[in-house]
Amino acid sequence: MSPQEPEVEDGGKKDRVPAGAPFTWIAANFAHCPEDADDEVIQRYARVYMWYVISRTIFADGTGKNAPWMWRKALTVFDNKFSWGSAALAYLYRQLDDACRGTTKDGGVGGCMLLLSVWSWERLPVGCPKSSQWNTWDDHGNPARQPTWTYKWDLVSKVASEVNLLYKQYNNEMDSLTPEQVEWEPYAVGPNFGDAHTFELNPLCVQERHLWLMRCPLICNWAVEFHLPHWMVDVHIPTASCRVQMRACEMKQPWPPTRAITQG
């Protein structure tokens, strides 16, 4: 079973899209697993479901049409040791780069937009919705089912303004953004990391925190992007020794330092 090639009108040109299966075809053929299915069929449906989900969320290509075959191939073995988080970041970085350079005809951007949105809302005072009170989370007594940090933004205020006006407003605000307006440590540090005040963070979110400052290439198929967190840390966040000296000298200035504005 395989999807049909899209029809091309006479004299028309075939659109260049990533090789894959249309989401509509997947939904039509794999929406329900047969009740009498054996293990092999169940695993096939499970792989297709995961393929569908990651192609629409983590590795979205910006078109919203197809699930690329390359992600299906990566799910051939369930217990692989792939670093999916690293791949997601590499893919998102490359998609942002391509979008900024206008390499696609429609100017779309792919990658995990939910991740990018939460990252921006936590750090930048631009286009950030107001977070409302979220519903009570039931983890069924399983810590692995506790919510991630994204749950903090589960319920937000609706934006009623016109989209084109907001686009211009956000552009102006981004252009005038200063370093002291950026939240460099949005999730807190040390033992207070992930303190959302009202719900307990999923322990899976912090179990590999010893790798967060690792300097390494992030690889996702053809996309290789470098992870260099020390660039931001060295420039914007004071070191531990610097913090100690500031406390010893009773220098309780905020960080980053207030930007001096002069006129004349």
pLDDT digits (tens, 9 = 90+) for 135-190: 778 888 898 898 888 888 888 887 777 878 888 899 999 999 998 888 877 666 55
Determine the residue type at 33.
C
For residues 147 and 202, is the Cβ–Cβ distance under 8 A? yes
For the cut 50, the answer to whether the pLDDT of residue 210 exceeds it is yes
Domain ranges of the chain: 114-212
Taking the C-alpha atoms of residue 52 and residue 27, their distance in angstroms, rounded to an integer, is 9
- Closest-CA residue to 19 (of 63, 81, 53): 63
Confidence tier at 239 by pLDDT (50, 70, 90): low
Task: Copy the structure tokens of residue 248.
Answer: 């010893």
Residues 6+ apart with CB under 8 A from 224: 90, 217, 218
Q: How far is CA 217 from CA 220, 225, 227, 253, in A?
A: 10, 6, 6, 36
